[in-house]
Amino acid sequence: MNNRTLRRLLSACALAAALSASSPHAAGAELVVIVSAKSPVASLRADQVADIFLGQVGTFPDGAEAVALDQRIGSALRDEFYARVTSKTPALLKAYWTKMIFTGRGQPPKEAGDSAAVRRMVADNPALIGYIDKAALDPSVKAVLMVR
């Protein structure tokens, strides 16, 4: 490979990186963890949310059932949520759930299509907990954790 080809390749890589960094959920998106407005849960810590989404606990701190609801696999919001709350990449998350399923210790959360679908499902069921883009919040749900 000559220098000109290498420079073009590096320029293309730099452009691709710049474009991906400007996607709406690349960095700095405002994610919120939500429960139904009917739920007595007022707030949760990030470690409590991680435990629920990783199948380590099945209840909220008050003892009520907690059922995690994920965004679809491959969505930027899902990847960002797991990176920030559990410190897991998509590959690590897949390996984690493969092990949990194989050992019979758990099943991954059910999935919904997008923030609006998650919000609608969570609003209707006080046992559900999900995460959405903050812009999708409405009075039918309440934010219990701002994901930073």
pLDDT at 9: 46
Instruction: Name the fold adopted by 25-147.
Output: D-Maltodextrin-Binding Protein; domain 2 (3.40.190)
86-116 tens-digit pLDDT: 999 999 999 999 999 999 999 999 999 999 9
What's the whole-model pTM score? 0.81
Neighbours of 32 (CB within 10 A): 20
Q: Give residue for tokens 């219990």.
A: 144
The pLDDT tens digits of the residues spanning 16-33 come to 443 343 334 444 569 999
**pLDDT digits over 48-79, tens only?**
999 999 999 999 999 999 999 999 999 999 99
136's tokens: 């999708």
Closest CA to 20 of 72, 79, 94: 79
Whether 86 contacts 97, CB under 8 Å: no
pLDDT at 3: 56
Read off φ and ψ for residue 11, nearest 5 degrees.
Answer: -65, -40
